[in-house]
Amino acid sequence: MNRLKEAAADTLDTFAARVEQRTIGPCRVLLLKTPVRSVVSWRGSFMSYPDFGEGEELLQVLTVEMLDKGTLHRDRFALADVLENRGAQLDFHSDVLEVAFQGRALREDVPDVLQVLAEQVREPSFDEDEFVKAVTQYQAALHRSAESTSSQASSAFSRMLYNPAHPNYTPPTAFSLNRLDEVTVEEIRSYHAKHFGGNELVIAFVGDVDWSMVEEALQGGLGDWAKHAAHPRFEEHGNEQERGRVEVRMPDKQNVDVRIGHSIPIRRQHDDFMSLFLGTFILGGNFSARLMTKIRGEMGLTYGIRAGLHGLDKAYDGHWQVGVTLSEENVERGIEAVLAEVRQFVEEGVTDDEVEDKKTTITGTYKVSLATTRGLAQRLHRTIRRGFEVDYLDRFTAEVEAVTPAQVNDAIRQYIHPDDFQVALAGILPVVEG
């Protein structure tokens, strides 16, 4: 009897049971009420499908930049006034194949903020003067990225792994700055007309929320939002050159950022994903992982080193990489030490204890990540976007637990190939003799 009661309580406690879902116009809405007082967080997105081969990602970024610069009904200050007078937050960003947004507001302000959201995304005014300002802002952002060793190393690394038509490719900063000089507001208007619409629109609300505060606002604002006709156009696979090394020389940057790795031919929903994820976590997922223990803890060569799977989506491949920061005098020694550690990892594999340890880490971290409304909204949205259903959040822990050490070792050997590693560096680089 008690067992039955416990089972019933467990079922009621699942995300599958607690998350309510409704379809409002083109929008799939998920709603999860939590005990937090007054606060509601949300996360949403729609598929926009920029054509990466045609460089449309830059158009998408600029279009998104224009969303808070005024609509057909309100200028930029009036829009900001709605948010600022309520202390509410609403941000849009270009997220590869989609346009994403997130917000946070006090419960009584949610309908007003959703009205602004709908207005911004559907009826931006694309004022010419505001467009010039948006271009200046984005120029500044590109200049800042040109000052960052981390951005420059990652961007150079992406160009070793992918062609320009792949969503994970980042063009050189100078290329984007030149392109920016040519873009017109007409192109942005046209991009908006062709790529913004209720395509696979998903929004997850979490916190002190109920349907009364979102349903009417969404119905009124987005209920009749038509879909656009753009289709996915991008390369799905990596296209690596021969093994190589690229150096981005940046004066006055004594810390050098390094990226080491290669693309991998699997996606988020692949059967081997969890095994490879767990194995990579053992190598470099957190402070107690092998790379931090060895390269930082024992050798003192770096402040930060991580290994991870990057850019994997349900629709395209991503890559496996180690990211490390090394002071000027330790660059070559650090790279050699990382390569030696990864080789040993691939050759010898992981131990049963390591697998058990990291399973507990990953499932515990997962639990902690669900402690805020923002974290929950993000998880819910990402789960749907990755092609899973809400019950995946309930299954996640069991899926991690089910992975065996043999599966981890198979995945490591199958997908990680140190002989094929590409290396990208950015910072003040010593000239290597010979």
Partner 1 sequence: MAETTYSTTEAPITHADFEFVEASGGIEAYRLMSNDLQVLLLPEAAAPVVTFMVTYRVGSRNETAGLTGATHFLEHLMFKGTERFHERHGTAIFNVLQRVGAQINATTWMDRTNYYELLPKEHLPLAVEIEADRMRGALIDADDLESERTVILNEFDRGQNEPIRNLYHAVWSAAFVAHPYHHPTIGWRSDIETVTAEGLRHFYDRYYWPDNATVSIIGDIDREEALDLVAEHFGGITKSPDPVTPRLTREPEQRGERRITVRKAGQLGAVMVAYKSPEGAHPDAEALDLLAMVLASGKNSRLFRRLTDHQLTAQISASSSRLRDPGLFYILGILAPGRTHDEVEAAIEEAIAEVQADGITEDELQRAKNQLRAQEAFERDGPFAIASQLNEAIAAGDWKLYTTFRERIEAVTTGDVQRVAQSYLVADRCTIGRYVPVNEA
Which parts of 330-389 interact with partner 1 (CB under 8 A)?
Answer: 330, 357, 360-368, 370-375
- Residue placing its CB nearer to partner 1 in the complex, 373 or 422: 373
Residue 104 near partner 1 by CB under 8 A: yes
Give the whole-angstrom CA distance, residue 359 versus residue 169.
32
- Residue placing its CB nearer to partner 1 in the complex, 145 or 239: 145
Tokens 């989506």 appear where? 313
- Residue placing its CB nearer to partner 1 in the complex, 336 or 420: 336
Q: 403 - beta bridge partners?
A: none
Report the nearest approach of partner 1 to the CB of residue 223 (Å).
27
Q: Beta strand pairing status for 422-427 and 39-47?
A: unpaired
- With 0-12 / 13-18 / 19 or more C-beta atoms within 10 angstroms meaning exposed / middle / buried, residue 336 is exposed
Between residue 274 and residue 293, which ones bind partner 1 under the rule CB under 8 A?
A: 286-288, 292-293
Report the nearest approach of partner 1 to the CB of residue 145 (Å).
9
- Residue placing its CB nearer to partner 1 in the complex, 99 or 362: 362
Report the nearest approach of partner 1 to the CB of residue 140 (Å).
3
Residue 55 φ/ψ region, left for φ over 0, alpha for ψ in the -120 to 50 degree band, beta for the rest: left
Q: Which one of the spans 3-11, 34-42, 117-125, 209-217 is the region binding partner 1 (CB under 8 A)?
A: 34-42
Q: What Cα–Cα distance (Å) separates residue 175 from each residue in 96, 171, 182, 307? A: 18, 6, 11, 29
Provide the greatest CA pair distance for the chain. Answer: 78
Q: Which one of the spans 132-140, 159-167, 223-231, 382-390 is the region binding partner 1 (CB under 8 A)?
A: 132-140
Q: Which one of the spans 162-170, 194-202, 300-308, 401-409 is the region binding partner 1 (CB under 8 A)?
A: 300-308
Give the whole-angstrom CA distance, residue 285 versus residue 299.
18
Give the whole-angstrom CA distance, residue 372 versus residue 202.
20
Report the nearest approach of partner 1 to the CB of residue 9 (Å).
14
Q: Are 321 and 259 spatial neighbours (Cβ–Cβ below 8 Å)?
A: yes
Radius of gyration of the chain (CA): 23
Q: Tell me how many residues contact partner 1 (CB under 8 A).
A: 79
Report the nearest approach of partner 1 to the CB of residue 93 (Å).
16
Q: Which one of the spans 105-113, 153-161, 265-273, 382-390 is the region binding partner 1 (CB under 8 A)?
A: 105-113
Among 11, 38, 190, 212, binds partner 1 (CB under 8 A): 38
Q: Which one of the spans 43-51, 136-144, 197-205, 258-266 is the region binding partner 1 (CB under 8 A)?
A: 136-144
Among 11, 21, 85, 269, binds partner 1 (CB under 8 A): 85
Report the nearest approach of partner 1 to the CB of residue 136 (Å).
5
Give the whole-angstrom CA distance, residue 181 versus residue 403.
51
Among 35, 242, 431, 434, binds partner 1 (CB under 8 A): 35
Return the amino acid letter for 231. H
Report the nearest approach of partner 1 to the CB of residue 1 (Å).
25
Among 34, 115, 239, 344, binds partner 1 (CB under 8 A): 34
Between residue 224 and residue 263, which ones bind partner 1 under the rule CB under 8 A?
A: 250-255
Report the nearest approach of partner 1 to the CB of residue 154 (Å).
14
Residue 44-83 contact track with partner 1, rule CB under 8 A, x = bound: ------------------------x-------xx-xxx-x
The pair of structure tokens assigned to 166 is: 């792949």
Among 3, 9, 182, 300, binds partner 1 (CB under 8 A): 300
Report the nearest approach of partner 1 to the CB of residue 365 (Å).
5
Give the whole-angstrom CA distance, residue 266 versus residue 49.
21
Secondary structure of residue 81 in the 3-state scheme: helix
Residue 261 φ/ψ region, left for φ over 0, alpha for ψ in the -120 to 50 degree band, beta for the rest: left
Q: 146 - beta bridge partners?
A: none
The torsion angles phi and psi of 83, rounded to 5 degrees, stand at: -75, -50
Between residue 392 and residue 431, which ones bind partner 1 under the rule CB under 8 A?
A: 427
- Residue placing its CB nearer to partner 1 in the complex, 54 or 81: 81
DSSP string for 245-285: EEEEE-TT--EEEEEEEEEES--TTSTTHHHHHHHHHHHHS
- Residue placing its CB nearer to partner 1 in the complex, 190 or 365: 365
The secondary element (H helix, E strand) that includes residue 426 is: strand 422-427
Give the whole-angstrom CA distance, residue 385 versus residue 326.
36
